[in-house]
Amino acid sequence: MALDIVLHINKGELDFGGSAVSICAFNETETLDSKNAIIELEIDELLNLTVINNDSLTHDFTIDGVILADNDIAGYSQETFQLSFDELGAWRFYSSVSYGEYIGATGIINVGLTEETCFFWNLFDLNKELTYDLASAELEYIPSMYLPELFFINGDHFPNTLEDEDALVSVELGDTCYITIVNGGNMDHVMHFHGFHAEIVSAQVASDRVGWSKDTVPIKKGEAVVLQLVANLEGIYPVHDHNLIAVTNTGFYPGGMITQIHVGQ
Ligand SMILES: [Cu+2]
């Protein structure tokens, strides 16, 4: 069994709350969307991936610990990759160049959960002004005095997160679901669940935490974790970044990395 997927690397400007920012993303079409692609695979399923680079600059297709070399995609060209994963988990794929990774080019590969109810939180932070120089490669690093002002889950911020069926956890009482969280941003994040503890079932960076059941889950830069959540309480519960700067939109609360868990019956 094999899955054929085509991804486009798109770069350009998008408007967030009246301000344009430069963004790079892996999308399923050649239209730039700040929400990166999510790929769901079975364990041992072969992924035949074609990556089309619509940027003039060279990008790459990187997965920490999996694909680190021979992965360049020259400007306005395409490459193919074949890969499979032999265990349940989530992986972050990204373009490791500064004008890719630092401005949002991170997607998610979820493995072994295609029969389950899954949600996805792709975390990203950025500073509006920096994005222009990063996108043009005039700036090639994140300055130590980094002051992000936009905080995204799946390429958008609260309250828009509630309109995203991958970001809003909507389940029935008694359901078990899985939440994959990837941090493609430029700082660490930490998600706080109200009402629930979630069990870490897979983690690429802090793998020693597998099996922990927590209401607050640190998500380091570059991390990809899978959480199992059992919806044993009815109602509506917030989930948010515990770093309170990250629950704002350009300084205004509430915004940023907030979503909700809806449990009905
Ligand atoms: Cu809280």
- Tens digit of pLDDT for each residue in 175-214? 999 999 999 999 999 999 999 999 999 999 999 999 999 9
Which residue ranges make up each domain of the chain?
Answer: 2-114, 150-264
HEC secondary structure over the chain: CEEEEEEEEEEEEEEECCEEEEEEEEECCCCCCCCCCEEEECCCCEEEEEEEECCCCCEECEECCCECCCCEECCCCEEEEEECCCCCEEEEEECCCHHHHCCCCEEEEEECCCCCCEEEEEEEEECHHHHHHHHCCCCCCCCCCCCCCEEEECCECCCHHHHCCCCCEEEECCCEEEEEEEECCCCCEEEEECCCCEEEEEECCCHHHCCCEECEEEECCCCEEEEEEECCCCEEEEEEECCHHHHCECCECCCCCEEEEEEEC
Q: Is the pLDDT of residue 141 over 90?
A: yes
- Name the band, by pLDDT with cuts 50, 70 and 90, for residue 1: confident
Q: How far is the CA of 94 from the centre of ligand 1 (A)?
A: 29
- Name the band, by pLDDT with cuts 50, 70 and 90, for residue 42: very high
Count of all residues that appear for the chain in the document = 265
Question: Burial of 63 by CB count in 10 Å (0-12 exposed, 13-18 middle, 19+ buried)?
Answer: buried
Q: How far is the CA of 10 from the centre of ligand 1 (A)?
A: 34
Q: How far is the CA of 15 from the centre of ligand 1 (A)?
A: 29
Q: What's the CATH class of domain 2-114? A: mainly beta
Sheet containing 2-16: which strands, arranged edge to edge? 19-27, 2-16, 46-53, 78-83
Query: What does pLDDT average to over the chain?
Result: 97
For the beta carbon of residue 214, count every other beta carbon within 10 angstroms. 16
Q: How far is the CA of 192 from the centre of ligand 1 (A)?
A: 5
Q: How far is the CA of 207 from the centre of ligand 1 (A)?
A: 24
Q: How far is the CA of 118 from the centre of ligand 1 (A)?
A: 22
- Tens digit of pLDDT for each residue in 66-104? 999 999 999 999 999 999 999 999 999 999 999 999 999
Q: How far is the CA of 95 from the centre of ligand 1 (A)?
A: 32
Q: What is the pLDDT of residue 17?
A: 78
Prediction pTM value: 0.97
User: Cα separation of 34 and 133, whole Å?
Assistant: 18
Q: How far is the CA of 242 from the centre of ligand 1 (A)?
A: 6
Q: For residues 158-174, give the mean pLDDT.
A: 98
Q: Which fold has domain 150-264?
A: Immunoglobulin-like (2.60.40)
Q: How far is the CA of 115 from the centre of ligand 1 (A)?
A: 30
Q: How far is the CA of 139 from the centre of ligand 1 (A)?
A: 35
Intrachain domains 2-114 and 150-264 with the same fold? yes
